[in-house]
């Protein structure tokens, strides 16, 4: 009703200390005669008070849980070569595997395949999920997929994000991406399939 504790207490004919006690214990169950006084005050209030009261009684909106930023990374193999993209970012160029952001509800395998095609024109299919980790450079959740080349010519189809696209010999990948930044299961997969 937008009244001070004292004014509200006077209107109800009770002490201001009682109102203060109600504020400190909002879940309190009132005696029958006190509840009747409150009901009468509510019935006599105007429509704006009724609307504000209804808003207070409405159940809270369900809380959305924050989603961590997730990317799907495709390690695409074609014979003895691996597909890499040279990405722009923070004023420097960095070679990496094709990757894309996984929106809530999306499937990482699908994103890896679609982003590879969207960035490079290469069609691939996921052979194996290699795992996931917090990426040591970007801090996002990175999920890795070992993929097999199906078709397509490797070209830079995303010139806003990438400078170049290249097939690199598997044995030379660490010349493009520092060894310490490569997820160990990727290194194992590259060695196992040479």
Helices (H) and strands (E) in the chain, counts: 7, 7
What is the pLDDT, as a whole number, of residue 193?
57
Which of 46, 47, 36 has its CA nearest to residue 12? 36
Angle made by CA atoms 120, 125, 130, in degrees to the nearest 5: 100
- State how far the Cα of 30 lies from the Cα of 34, in Å rounded to an integer: 6
Q: Where are the domains of the chain?
A: 5-57, 70-192
Q: In the chain, what percentage of residues exceed pLDDT 90?
A: 48
Count of Cβ atoms closer than 10 Å to residue 57 Cβ: 7
Average pLDDT for the chain? 88
Count of Cβ atoms closer than 10 Å to residue 29 Cβ: 7
What is the pLDDT, as a whole number, of residue 152?
94
Crossing angle for the helix pair 47-57 and 32-44, to the nearest 10 degrees: 130
pLDDT in tens, 147-181: 999 999 999 998 888 999 999 999 999 999 999 88
List beta partners, residue 151: 123
Question: Which region, left, alpha or beta, applies to residue 91 given φ > 0 means left and ψ of -120 to 50 means alpha?
Answer: left
Task: DSSP for 138-170, please give it.
Answer: T-SEEEEEEEEEEE-------TTTEEEEEEEEG
Q: In the chain, what percentage of residues exceed pLDDT 70?
A: 98
Count of Cβ atoms closer than 10 Å to residue 75 Cβ: 28
What is the pLDDT, as a whole number, of residue 22?
80
Homologous superfamily, domain 70-192? Nucleoside Triphosphate Pyrophosphohydrolase (3.90.79.10)
Cα end-to-end distance, the chain, whole Å: 77
Range from 83-97, 139-153, 163-177 carrying the lowest mean pLDDT: 83-97
The length of the chain, given as a count of residues:
194
Strand runs (DSSP E) across 16-113, as ranges? 70-78, 81-89, 92-96, 99-101
* Per-residue pLDDT band at 48 (split at 50, 70, 90): confident
């Amino acid at each position: 009703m937008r009244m001070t504790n004292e004014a509200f207490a006077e209107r109800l004919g009770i002490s201001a200390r009682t109102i203060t006690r109600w504020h400190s214990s909002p879940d309190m169950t009132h005696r029958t005669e006190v509840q009747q006084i409150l009901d009468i005050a509510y019935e006599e209030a105007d429509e704006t008070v009724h609307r504000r009261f209804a808003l207070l009684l409405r159940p809270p909106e369900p809380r959305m849980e924050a989603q961590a930023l997730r990317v799907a990374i495709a390690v695409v193999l074609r014979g003895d070569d691996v597909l890499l993209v040279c990405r722009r970012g923070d004023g420097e160029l960095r070679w990496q595997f094709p990757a894309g952001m996984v929106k809530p509800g999306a499937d990482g395998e699908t994103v890896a395949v679609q982003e590879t095609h969207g960035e490079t024109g290469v069609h691939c299919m996921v052979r194996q999920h290699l795992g996931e980790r917090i990426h040591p450079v970007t801090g996002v959740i990175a999920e890795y997929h070992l993929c097999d080349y199906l078709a397509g010519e490797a070209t830079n189809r995303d010139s806003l994000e990438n400078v170049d696209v290249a097939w690199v010999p598997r044995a030379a990948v660490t010349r493009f991406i520092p060894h310490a930044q490569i997820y160990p299961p990727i290194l194992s997969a590259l060695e196992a399939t040479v």
